[in-house]
Chains A and B, each alone.
Chain A
Amino acid sequence: MIWQLDVIILTLVIICGLAAISIRDLLGAAVLFSAYSFMMCLLWAIMGAVDVAFTEASVGAGVSTVFFVAAVFRTTRSSKD
């Protein structure tokens, strides 16, 4: 484990998480959540959990984003908070 990379990507994960819940556009929130999932996948690859990392890359960053975009497409894109 390379701790410098770990600290940088952990910070990016927290920033992406904060941005995903604070943005008003729901499609933007879905894309930021996808970025969050991908950063989390990188973090797990750094920590040596390669099987968990590629499952997260396909399921978390791939399928979840498709679900969110489909849900936003079928409902509304704007949010009050």
Chain B
Amino acid sequence: MDAPVLADMLDFVIAKYNYWGIAALMMIGLYAMIAKNNLVKKIIGMNIFQTAIILFFISIATKWDATIPIIIHGHGAHAHSIHAADYMNPLPHVLMLTAIVVSVATLGVALALAVGIFQRYETLEEDNILEQLKADESNLR
């Protein structure tokens, strides 16, 4: 591979640094959800995954050399023309505002379930809970 192609590829990778960070965060969350043994750690992993997806949508809405989506000449200035390229895209922001509220609702339900499981089994570790479940099952037979 010759040098200019390599430099182009490097530029491409560096210019998309936000997406690499988002992919890393999603993998951290997925790892915590699958591999961690403690239920609270799994819930933290789920929340990291959700915020990574929200960050992805916010990154899509971002433009270079643009300002926040509030029109500069607000009232009584209809003579000014509005250029969409001067403002960030507000549509993904509004969608993700809903996603944040949903994520805190799922967090509340998940923690309530974890507290209920703790009151029943006296532990938050997944392997201990599975052992107790198996013991209960063999007692029933």
Bind each other? yes
The answer to whether A33 touches B47 (Cβ under 8 A) is yes
Give the number of chain A interface residues (Cβ < 8 Å). Answer: 43
Give the number of chain B interface residues (Cβ < 8 Å). Answer: 48
- Give the residues in chain A near B38, CB-CB below 8 Å: 26, 79-81
Chain B residues within 8 Å of A, Cβ to Cβ:
17-18, 21, 24-25, 28-29, 31-32, 36-38, 40-41, 44-45, 47-48, 51, 54-55, 58-59, 61-62, 64, 66-69, 88, 93-94, 96-97, 100-101, 103-104, 107-108, 111, 114-115, 118, 123-125
Q: A40-B51, A55-B100, A60-B51 are in contact. Are A81 and B37 (CB under 8 A)?
A: yes
Q: A10-B18, A21-B36, A64-B104 are in contact. Are A29 and B96 (CB under 8 A)?
A: no
Looking across the interface, which residue of chain A has its beta carbon closest to that of B37? A81
- Give the residues in chain B near A26, CB-CB below 8 Å: 38, 40-41
Chain B nearest CB, measured from A39 CB (Å): 10
Chain A nearest CB, measured from B108 CB (Å): 6
The answer to whether A21 touches B17 (Cβ under 8 A) is no
Looking across the interface, which residue of chain A has its beta carbon closest to that of B94? A51
The answer to whether A29 touches B118 (Cβ under 8 A) is no
